[in-house]
């Protein structure tokens, strides 16, 4: 089941990404030769108008093949013949659609919740240390250690990454911002003890939209922070997961919601799958915009350079850079997949 779920989730994320490129390319008058889901040999395909639509064997990617995308073309509707600003819109459309999909999934996730979780404190434990060192009931936490707080997920992130249980906070109290220094929490065996609860909010269309925008921003920022931690060495390549690791994670999620009688709590399972799917598609959107060869972000950088120079980089030079980047990316995926398999075997 986890494999089927993974293929459906990957397929949706890939389809939405390539659909973004496809729709904007068509809107900009670019000829699209093929729209494909999957890589490798074609399983099924059909042609409608000028475009071939295909489903390929390996569900690990997809593409929107545009005329003149990677080479020169005399066709006036070729990608390379269009103004730089149109090509930029086409390139970023895939990532933009991933972000939109993430937002939609988060809206669905919040819409079926019994209540929304705010960042406003509604209750303290008896003799709560955080209360005695500055926090008050009714405080809305808006900043912790310099990081803007959008959702309770941000609070959890700050608390889980802390070492000493001491925080500088900014809260909204009686409509005004109040700075609090050295708010303290008890630490036990290296773990921080959270001694307050936050107020639940009623689910309404307005509250869902508001919370969904905040959650999308929160997810995107946490992904960006994780990428920064990877670059600075706080995370290592061994900490990354690829398709195999994701399938394994989905299997654990399914198992966690399966009872002793084999029955599945579909409500709880769908809630977790919505969360994972939203996080994954936002991740794909952000990762694709990184200025790396073979990614949309790499193509975007070449277009920006062309816009500044008012002269395109030679296609053969750009093609070589993307080819090398793709080879390195495939090598990285091979390493990550090997690590995933080793982790599963050792578990």
CATH number at residue 167: 2.30.42.10
222, part of any domain: no
Residue 149 belongs to domain spanning: 116-201
Q: What is the pLDDT of residue 38?
A: 92
**29 and 101 in one domain?**
yes
- Chain length of the chain: 347
pLDDT (tens digit per residue) in 287-305: 999 998 889 999 999 999 9
Surface-to-core class of residue 176, CB atoms within 10 Å of its CB (0-12 exposed, 13-18 middle, 19+ buried): exposed
What is d(CA 148, CA 131) in angstroms, rounded to the nearest whole number?
Answer: 21
**136 and 103 in one domain?**
no
Q: For residue 147, list its beta bridge partners.
A: 144
189, part of any domain: yes
Residue 67 known to be catalytic: no
Q: What is the pLDDT of residue 326?
A: 86
Q: What is the pLDDT of residue 298?
A: 93
Where a domain ends, among 181, 201, 221? Answer: 201
Q: What is the pLDDT of residue 154?
A: 96
Neighbouring C-alpha atoms within 13 Å toward the C-beta of 189: 0
Q: Which residues of the chain have pLDDT under 50?
A: none
**103 and 9 in one domain?**
yes
Q: What is the pLDDT of residue 343?
A: 86
Q: What is the pLDDT of residue 96?
A: 97
44, part of any domain: yes
219, part of any domain: no
- As a whole number of angstroms, the longest Cα–Cα distance in the chain is 76
Tell me the whole-structure pTM to 2 decimals: 0.91
Q: What is the pLDDT of residue 163?
A: 85
Element at 285 (helix H, strand E): helix 266-288
């Amino acid at each position: 089941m986890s494999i089927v779920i993974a293929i459906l989730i990957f397929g949706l994320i890939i389809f939405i990404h390539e659909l973004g490129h496809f729709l904007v390319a068509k809107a900009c008058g670019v000829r699209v030769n093929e729209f494909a889901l999957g890589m490798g040999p074609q399983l099924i395909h059909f042609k409608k108008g000028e475009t071939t639509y295909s489903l390929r064997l390996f569900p690990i990617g997809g593409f929107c093949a545009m005329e003149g995308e990677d080479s020169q073309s005399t066709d006036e509707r070729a990608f390379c013949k269009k103004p730089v600003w149109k090509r930029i819109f086409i390139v970023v459309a895939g990532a933009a659609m991933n972000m939109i999909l993430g937002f939609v999934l988060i809206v669905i996730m919040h819409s079926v919740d019994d209540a929304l979780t705010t960042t406003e404190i509604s209750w303290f434990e008896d003799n709560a240390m955080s209360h005695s060192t500055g926090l008050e009931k009714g405080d809305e936490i808006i900043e912790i250690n310099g990081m803007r707080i959008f959702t309770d997920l941000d609070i959890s992130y700050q608390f889980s990454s802390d070492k000493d249980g001491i925080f500088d906070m900014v809260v909204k109290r009686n409509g005004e911002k109040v700075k609090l220094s050295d708010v303290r929490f008890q630490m036990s065996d290296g773990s921080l003890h959270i001694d307050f609860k936050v107020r639940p909010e009623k689910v309404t269309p307005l509250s869902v939209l508001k919370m969904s925008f905040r959650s999308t921003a929160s997810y995107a920022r946490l992904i960006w922070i994780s990428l920064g931690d990877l670059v600075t060495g706080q995370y290592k390549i061994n900490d990354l997961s690829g398709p195999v690791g994701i399938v394994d994670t989905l299997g654990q999620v399914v198992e966690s919601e399966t009872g002793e009688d084999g029955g599945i709590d579909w409500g709880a399972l769908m809630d977790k799958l919505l969360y994972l799917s939203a996080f994954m598609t936002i991740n794909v959107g952000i990762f694709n915009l990184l200025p790396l060869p073979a990614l949309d972000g790499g193509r975007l950088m070449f277009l920006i350079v062309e816009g500044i120079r008012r002269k395109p980089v030679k296609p053969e030079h750009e093609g070589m850079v993307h080819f090398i980047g793709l080879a390195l990316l495939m090598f990285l995926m091979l390493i990550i997949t090997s690590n995933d398999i080793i982790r599963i075997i050792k578990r």
